[in-house]
């Protein structure tokens, strides 16, 4: 569903999905050190999800990319906040309500 040569990027996307209740598995973490030794596509870290979660996961990823970073809008005031915030910095609303 999502893959990258950058393991940190895959972990950020996984965190984004987990916060929204979409479970996932990682595949290929052990291949990261092989980058440059094997074809680049064989060194990718992959994020796997249930196919039924695919539309929601794609929308979350697309939304986070559109925000310019890993950010999300507050459900109350619409202000963008980093995904790591549990409360909106502007109005104090909780995310995930």
pLDDT of residue 67: 53
- Residue 71, both tokens: 């950010």
CB-based burial label for 80 (10 Å; 0-12, 13-18, 19+): middle
Return the closest-CA partner of residue 49 out of 96, 2, 7.
2
pLDDT of residue 36: 67
| Cβ-contact 14, 57 below 8 angstroms | no
Return the closest-CA partner of residue 2 out of 57, 83, 64, 52.
57
pLDDT of residue 3: 81
pLDDT tens by residue, 17-60 = 998 899 999 998 777 666 667 776 677 889 999 999 999 998 88
Can you point out the beta strands (E) in the chain? Answer: 2-4, 24-27, 45-49, 71-73, 80-82
Q: What pTM value is reported for the model?
A: 0.60
Average pLDDT over residues 68-94: 81
Fold classification of 2-66 is Endonuclease I-creI (3.10.28)
Tell me the percentage of the chain whose pLDDT exceeds 90. 24
pLDDT above 50: residue 69 = yes
């Amino acid at each position: 569903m999502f893959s990258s040569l950058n393991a940190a990027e895959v972990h950020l996307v996984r965190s984004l999905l987990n916060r929204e209740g979409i479970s996932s598995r990682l595949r290929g973490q052990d291949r990261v050190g092989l980058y440059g030794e094997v074809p680049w596509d064989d060194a990718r870290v992959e994020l796997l999800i249930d196919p039924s979660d695919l539309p929601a996961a794609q929308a979350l990823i697309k939304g986070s990319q559109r925000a310019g970073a890993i950010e999300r809008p507050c459900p109350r005031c619409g202000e963008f906040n980093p995904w790591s915030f549990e409360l909106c910095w502007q109005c104090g609303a909780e995310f995930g309500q």
